[in-house]
Amino acid sequence: MDKTYQPEQIEQRWYQHWEQSGYFAPQGDGKPYCIMIPPPNVTGTLHMGHGFNQMVIDTLIRYHRMKGDKTLYQPGTDHAGIATQMVVERQLNAQNITRHDLGREKFLEKVWEWKEHSGNTITRQLRRLGTTPDWSRERFTMDDGLSDAVREVFVRLHEEGQIYRGQRLVNWDPVLHTAVSDLEVISEEENGFMWHFRYPVADADGNTTDEFLTVATTRPETMLGDSAVAVHPEDERYKHLIGRQVVLPLVGRLIPVVGDDYADPEKGTGCVKITPAHDFNDYQVGKRHNLELINIFTIDACINDVAPEQYRGMERYAARKQIVADMDALGLLAEIKDHKLMVPRGDRSGTVIEPYLTDQWYVDLTRDVQPDGRPGGKAAIAQPAIDAVESGKIRFIPGNWVNTYNHWMYNLDDWCISRQLWWGHRIPAWYDNAGNVYVGRNEDEVRNKHNLPADLALRQDEDVLDTWFSSALWPFSTLGWPNVDDAALKNFYPTQMLMTGFDIIFFWVARMIMFGIKFMGDVPFHDVYIHGLVRDAEGQKMSKSKGNVLDPLDIIDGIDLESLVAKRTSGMMQPQLAARIEKATRKQFPDGISAHGTDALRMTFASFATAGRDIRFDLQRLEGYRNFCNKLWNAARYVLMQCEDQDTGLNASLPVEYSAADRWIISLLQQTEAEVADHIDNYRFDLAAKAMYEFSWHEYCDWYLELTKPILGKANDNQTAKRGTRQTLVRVLEAALRLMHPIMPYITEEIWQNIKGLAGVSGDSIMLQPYPVADTALIDQAALAEIEWVKAFIMGIRRIRSEMDIKPGQVLDVLLQNWSASDKAMYATSEAFARTLAKVGSVTWLEAGADAPESATALVGEMQILIPLAGLIDKDAEIARLSKEIEKLLKNLTGLEGRLNNPAFADKAPAAVLEQTRKQAEEQRVALGQLQGQLEKIRAL
């Protein structure tokens, strides 16, 4: 093995080997274990959030594969309708081409080209992250098979009456010219105004009178579409006007005054203008009062020809300005107030969304429908999805997300699934010239089903489906559905778990549950692990416009400052931000980012993976885990140095002897194995990572490797003991590597390949080896106690040495006092350890009452280690040291005694706690007595 750990030299090599060997495909007859990839959008490249998600999923996948489960990680990508179409449109726009210039067909060719490019980038990135999906099963939401599934679901739901077409008010994006779902609308508070307009009340002949109703509005331009004014039916101020009419200013239309609860007497003036075609509330009021729907906008949100001539063609905000000015000129503008309001914007275009009247397709998720499709049964789609979570069949981790899920599920609206885009699944509906609609899997089917003559012209619906419609089918469409006999479907559905971010619980998780139950008759997964967002070190969301985005591959491979700056400042939608981003980047990464390797990144993600909590990505933490990799690397080099070409106990007929240290580390390994498995089973990757780190570094490296040195050194010629220790050294390492492999696949593979023979193991790859299982029979309590004792002994001496400024190399003679038979026995078996690790010279066991020279002191239990001062130790320093120690002990003891002296404590605390507290207090009293005695002795000198 090379002297230094260089991840770039091992990672790609092993990945290629694994992939070429076909190790990612499900194998064996074990229990099926399957996770679906949350399909990345083919909009570009993977970000840190993907990296986190993928690496944790892959940890589970590798873990289960090693456990012998028949494991499938199902890969694929999502066509991501609007998002992808926008990416390609932007590229065309840069060349001054619009998609309309190209036409639908040519444009789609361009998008497919982009999809190839982006999809390849993504799969390449996934490979670099070390994830192990079965690439032969890779799917794309617009593949033929998956598109079949989409049509099948659409047709079936339509046949059952749960998909319908209707004219309704939708969220309209006037820039993208498409409807968007409620979830795609982001409302944010913005500063605006509230305008008060006076509408003249009309007399019986329809002429204006001197009486006015004052209405308040935040959207003056919509008055052109007003079809009523509403007041509360009980409002004494206005109730006499109900049934009368007002003259709509600027338009001249007579509109009724209606009484409706919607008008709140407490709010504004108590009168509210009703614009049913441009406001969701007003739409409902309009329905109740049979009001006319007057659409005044074009698809661009400009004033259309329904409006008075002077406003036609005006952009909505220009119209607003003009209308306010005109009302003012007429003396009908009563007041303008500053007003904060929630402004709805499209999450993709950022433009203000208009409620707009259009024909769209909807899925009714809540209507009661019997299994045979007739109305009247239990809600067919939403309710079973609620029940599945309620009953615990699907579990959210952490559990509090159930509330979020339920809240949404209990308030479902019909899902608008049509989008006026080109990129996506074309809606399987055909129209004839008479306007009749036919739904079917394809045109032939439609013609056959409805006996349509061959010469009847049919044209397919221009619209495509919401991208989440196909995502909702992902858990079964990727496994071969609608072919219900597909082996993969039978094997792996339902899958075991889903791992995703909270931001798509509604978009995706809920809909997969609904459609999974609906079409497969069973939940799509059992556990839903919800993870947080990956943020930057300051806790800011990573985004291109903030310029704080990190690419997981740059962390793995490293990147120089100039490239990083270039990457962050290129292709920006707001180029004016570039200077600030450049400055911040140069400040934060003056030397760029050095290469850390995939394993360190995976370890970092694992240790940050506490469910539900956002992650502040901290490069310093990352560095710590790279150092950990380096530590492992060097430990392996030590093991090789000691074991290569040596007898590592492979010949079972030769005797072996295990030292206390051997038995101790074997015991700890069992405990760690049990702990790690438990933590992974509970999705506590942070604790699993911590247990691995703790064991490898602080027990195996810090103590065990050091403890092997006296045994394996030249001074010792006990071959049986050497054999036992070498065997332990290499076997514990081998097991630890398997233990850590799911999180750190590369370094564990590389080292494992180098030591497997010495450990008596064969196999082509660590990823195919069994996951270590704890054997409690191997836990040796005596060895654990003994090594704890040795550690205390060594640390006591080290402390004196450090605090007394004694050279590390200086051999120290020690005296021992107040020892017990067990102390003596422990020392006898571990003397070599103490001599090597603490540089102990001669040891004198003082009899009780024997005089000791002035010394520095450390305690091992009740035994006192004395290091004579003569020539070595500074009296004042020792006094200071002892005083400090005594103070600490005293503080502790006071607390314990305070508790013990409290009669209520003795009375009510459980016996075990009481006993433990007494014991602790007693120990500390003894220790305190010894230290105080020692302090007096030294003071007296």
Partner RNA sequence: GGGUAGUUAGCUCAGUUGGUAGAGCGUCGCCCUUACAAGGCGAAUGUCGGGGGUUCGAGCCCCUCACUACCCACCA
Site for RNA in 266-285 (CB under 7 A): 266-268, 270, 272-273, 280-281
Q: Which position has the token pair 């494991």?
A: 71
> Nearest-CA neighbor of 224 among 284, 314, 359?
314
Among 165, 586, 621, 937, binds RNA (CB under 7 A): 621
Out of 325, 487, 641, 773, the residue judged to bind RNA by CB under 7 A? 641
Instruction: Pick out residues in 487-506 that bind RNA (CB under 7 A).
Output: 502-503, 506
Binding of RNA at residue 691 (CB under 7 A)?
A: no
Distance CA 508, CA 97 (A): 34
Tell me if 652 contacts RNA by CB under 7 A: no
Task: For RNA, give the closer residue by CB, 185 or 852.
Answer: 185
592 binds RNA (CB under 7 A): no
* Residue 918 engages RNA in binding (rule: CB under 7 A): no
Residue of 368, 618, 681, 915 that binds RNA (CB under 7 A)? 618
Are 597 and 743 in contact by the 8 Å Cβ rule? The answer is no
> Looking at the DSSP assignment, which residues form a beta bridge with residue 255?
246
Name, in order, each residue with C-beta under 8 angstroms of 492's C-beta and a sequence gap of 6 or more: 26, 32, 34, 72, 74, 479
What is the torsional sign of CA 535, 538, 541, 543? Answer: negative
| 698, 875, 919, 939: which one binds RNA (CB under 7 A) | 698
Q: Kindly give the interhelix angle for 597-608 and 11-20, rounded to the nearest 10 degrees.
A: 80
Residues 541-570 as x/- pattern, contact with RNA by CB under 7 A:
x-----------------------------
Nearer to RNA, 340 or 378 (CB): 340
Please, what's the b/e burial string for 273-300 (b: 16 or more CB within 10 A of its CB; e: otherwise)? bbbbbbbeebbebbeebebebbbbbbee
Least distance (Å) between residue 903 CB and RNA: 8
Sign of CA dihedral 589, 591, 593, 597: negative
In the complex, the smallest distance separating the C-beta of residue 264 from RNA, rounded to whole angstroms, is 4
Interface with RNA (CB under 7 A), residue from 44, 328, 697, 835: 697
Residue 895: CB minimum distance to RNA, A: 4
Which segment (95-103, 136-144, 338-346, 931-939) binds RNA by CB under 7 A? 338-346
- Show the site string, 181-220: x = touches RNA by CB under 7 A, - = not: -xx---x------x--------------------xxxxx-
Under the binding rule (CB under 7 A), the answer on residue 788 touching RNA is no
Q: Could you say which residues in the range 157-186 bind RNA, by CB under 7 A?
A: 182-183
Q: State the first-to-last Cα distance of the chain, in angstroms, to the nearest integer.
A: 57
- Judged on CB neighbours under 10 Å (0-12, 13-18, 19+), 88 is buried
Task: Compute the least distance from the CB of residue 297 to RNA, in Å.
Answer: 17
Q: Is 537 near RNA (CB under 7 A)?
A: yes
Distance CA 191, CA 496 (A): 47
Site residues for RNA, 656-685, by CB under 7 A, read 682, 684
Which residue in the set 375, 539, 770, 929 belongs to the binding site for RNA (CB under 7 A)?
Answer: 539
Give CA separation, 451 vs 154, 157, 448, 459, 730, in Å: 21, 21, 5, 16, 77
Question: Angle between the 660-681 and 781-803 helix axes, to the nearest 10 degrees?
Answer: 100
Among the listed residues 113, 264, 292, 522, the single contact to RNA using CB under 7 A? 264
Question: Is there binding between residue 909 and RNA (CB under 7 A)?
Answer: yes
Q: Which burial class, exposed, middle or buried, applies to 183 when counting CB atoms under 10 A from its CB (0-12, 13-18, 19+)?
A: middle
Q: Is 907 in the site for RNA (CB under 7 A)?
A: yes
| Contacts (CB under 7 A) with RNA, residues 404-433 | 404, 407-408, 411
The yes or no reply on residue 613 touching RNA (CB under 7 A) is yes
Nearer to RNA, 610 or 716 (CB): 610
Nearer to RNA, 159 or 681 (CB): 681
Among 112, 135, 212, 262, binds RNA (CB under 7 A): 262
Does 634 contact RNA by CB under 7 A?
yes
The correct pick among 610, 671, 818, 932 for binding RNA (CB under 7 A) is 610
Burial 364-395, CB ≥16 within 10 A → b, else e: bbbbebeeeeeeeeebbbbbbbbebbeeeebe
Q: Considering CB under 7 A, how many residues would be counted as binding RNA?
A: 100
Minimum distance of RNA from residue 802's CB (angstroms): 4
Angle at 879 between CA 876 and CA 882, to 5 degrees: 150
Q: Which is nearer to RNA, 355 or 745 (CB)?
A: 355
Check residue 475 and report its DSSP letter.
Answer: H
Q: Exposed, middle or buried, 78 (CB in 10 Å: 0-12/13-18/19+)?
A: buried
DSSP 8-state symbol, 49: H
User: Do 382 and 412 form a contact (C-beta atoms < 8 A)?
Assistant: yes
* Alpha-carbon gap, residue 153 to 441, rounded angstroms: 10
| Among residues 420, 630, 716, 818, the one that binds RNA under rule CB under 7 A | 630
Q: Which amino acid is at 179?
A: A
Residue 803 touches RNA, criterion: CB under 7 A? yes
Identify the H or E element spanning 866: strand 863-868
Q: How far is the CB of 353 from RNA (least distance, A)?
A: 12
- For RNA, the closer of residues 219 and 835 by Cβ is 219
User: Can you spell out the DSSP letters for 349-362?
Assistant: T-PBPEEEEEEEEE
Q: What x/- string results for residues 342 through 381 when contact with RNA is judged by CB under 7 A?
A: x---------------------------------------
Is-contact 373 161, C-beta < 8 A? yes
Quote the longest CA-to-CA distance of the chain.
Answer: 124
Using CB under 7 A, which of 582, 614, 813, 831 touches RNA? Answer: 614
Q: Which is nearer to RNA, 588 or 634 (CB)?
A: 634
Nearer to RNA, 218 or 720 (CB): 218
Q: Considering beta carbons, is residue 583 or 698 the nearer one to RNA?
A: 698
Question: In angstroms, what is the minimal distance from the CB of 217 to RNA?
Answer: 4
Alpha helical stretches, state H, 289-359: 316-329
Query: What minimum distance in Å lies between the beta carbon of 594 and RNA?
Result: 9
Q: Which of 42, 427, 550, 629 binds RNA (CB under 7 A)?
A: 629
Tokens for 326?
Answer: 């005109």
Q: How far apart are CA 360 and CA 457, in angstroms?
A: 22
Query: Is 832 one of the binding residues for RNA (CB under 7 A)?
Result: no
Scan residues 39-98 and list those touching RNA (CB under 7 A). Answer: none
For the purposes of burial, counting CB atoms within 10 Å of the CB of 620, is it exposed (0-12), middle (13-18) or buried (19 or more)? exposed
* Contact between 840 and RNA per CB under 7 A: no
Q: Judged by CB under 7 A, which of 528, 635, 736, 790 binds RNA?
A: 635
Q: Using CB under 7 A, which residues numbered 87 to 106 contact RNA? A: none
Per CB under 7 A, the segment of 307-315, 354-362, 694-702, 840-848 that binds RNA is 694-702
Site for RNA in 705-734 (CB under 7 A): 705-706, 709
**CB distance 611 to 683 below 8 Å:** yes
* CA gap 205, 188 in Å, rounded: 45
Chain residues 865-904 in contact with RNA, contact rule CB under 7 A: 884, 895-896, 898-899, 902, 904
Alpha-carbon dihedral 171, 174, 178, 180, rounded to 10 degrees: -30
Piece in contact with RNA (CB under 7 A), picked from 205-213, 436-444, 774-782, 807-815: 807-815
